[in-house]
Structure 1
Amino acid sequence: MDKTWMLADRRSLRFQTGFENFLKFASANAADKSSIRCPCMKCCNHSGFTVAVIKGHVYFNGIMINYKNWDCHGEAAAMEGDSGGESESVDKPDDIEGEENKGEEDEDEEMSCDSDEFLRLVEDGDKALYPGCTKLTKLNALVEMFNLKAKHGMTDGCIFDWLMLFESFLPNGNEVPCNIGEAKKTLGLLGMGGDHHEAEVCPTCTTSRYKIGKNGVVRDGVAAKVLWYFPIIPRFKRMFQSPRTAKSLTWHGDRKKDGMMWHPADSPTWKLVDTQWPEFGKEPRNLRLTLSFDGFNPYVALNSKYSCWPVILVTYNLPPWLCMKRKFMMLSLLISGPKQSGKDIDVYLQPLIDDLKLLWQGVEGLYDSVREETFTLKAVLFWTINDFPAYGNLSGSVTKGSLPEERL
């Protein structure tokens, strides 16, 4: 049974890679990119759509089995000769043929890096930990090992010794990495590494990553600051994959309007955005968000010096009886430590700001389970909700006490 699933996964991966290549080829050779012929089982190359719609069609309907030569998407049709059954290719000038080959080579180069890494990840997920093992794969074992490393604070040297000991216990031909570097390289394909995960100083200001004691000695392994970030884009994707939630996210576009303010969609800010950016306003699935944050002491009187700042996103596309429900109040950041972040909160907010900027530009490939199509999601941040001290930290302005003499 396991071998059957492994074979199915490999076939699925080959199909996905080949289909992406096909879409890139069709888009590059299309006279009108908004009307590319759809090769799904229902359309059979008779109807034209965008690449995003074609992806949805093929996902639900399947692709034409007999469509092997892309004669409807820019590839020259194979011509069978009258005798001998041999196919003849259409003659093309050398310069055109060279340009086409160059384009195909460039396309292969674009796809090769990511697809090769993903293929290696799939292979590690399929490899048995040792010959005859049916319970664990190489990837499972590494993930479990690094979970223990994080839970118990094990050093890299300890993990290296464990790998060596573990390898000696298993039969010959096992897949245990020979060193910690190889193990981290494998897990890096899962996105567990990060651009600066091994850096010991900040690449911008060269401040130490670790705490510095009163004697000026760096406390290795003790982080100076800790930030928990929960990426928002994957969660927005899952919201549109639920038919009930996806329908609620466009509720504001179908509501009855009576001139009263019942919802943020009736506010001047909402109307200003629709007027200022009409293309954004035409798509009811584009999100309108608000940011709320404040600090509190989770230990009450037990530790008055500890501070915890949750940063929450609220989606105003939802109807009023849902948008303030705990289920849809999205925790995006958790800033904790012995001291308040103060005016340095902009540093902590940076990963969230980067995702919000990306959402404003548009994130492609989201699937709408109600309309059964893929689309490009955009989002805008409407308001921030906070008290005056938090507002002062966020804006960098003085909101309490007296102003310094030089500012009077």
Structure 2
Amino acid sequence: MILCPCRDCGNGICRTRDDVEAHLFWRGLKPEYCNWTAHGETSFTNDIGSHSIDVDNVNDDMEGLLNDVFGFESNTTDEREESNKPNADAAKFNKLISDSQQELFPIYKNFSKLDFLIRLLQLKCLGNWTQKSFTMLLDLLREAIEDICLPKFYYETKKIIQDLGLSYKKYDACRNDCILYWGPHEFKNECNICNESRWVTEDSTSKDISSKKNKKVAGKVMWHFPLTSRLQRLFMSSKTASNMI
């Protein structure tokens, strides 16, 4: 089964290859479908503007973005200090506001630290960079530009950005896609349907999977992107809320 790119289905319905061939023959290809991102083609093309990267407009509204995410206003320092006392979200908000106002390096106004890191992560996703190559780029930038304000590793960058929300969860899965090791199966070492080992290592007899001494690597991992938080973001954003009605 593959997504059908005909005029009527528009990459929204999975069909057999024979059905897709018939649909394309009789109905034709979806006109605006030039970059085959739904069929394995990379989205990083020369037409980079189609992926919402405006290289001419580097002064993004970071403060507006943070206000949409957390529902706080950041008009004055006193308000931020007041909201910071009992609220964990306010602490995250204030930290991100600080990063959004911090210059990338002295006497450079085009990018804030937060803005630059978001752009780097966006390029990482579009270009399929590895975590190692991302860290190597951070090392190069710190070496080339004196006093540049950047984290040392990809992991530190992800920690800064994750407070913006839209995070993901990872669940170990059976290599044959029988079950997820979640809920009643969370602490199992093998699939109860196909008896396939959960782990890459040969020694999977230990029941204490939380022990650091017996730490193992899962044979397959599923990345789950929760829908609720993404719908909430669409309603919270001042740019998209009107389109959700």
Query: What TM-score comes out, normalization by structure 1 length?
Result: 0.28
Larger Rg: 1
Of Structure 1 and Structure 2, the greater strand share is in 1
Query: What TM-score comes out, normalization by structure 2 length?
Result: 0.44
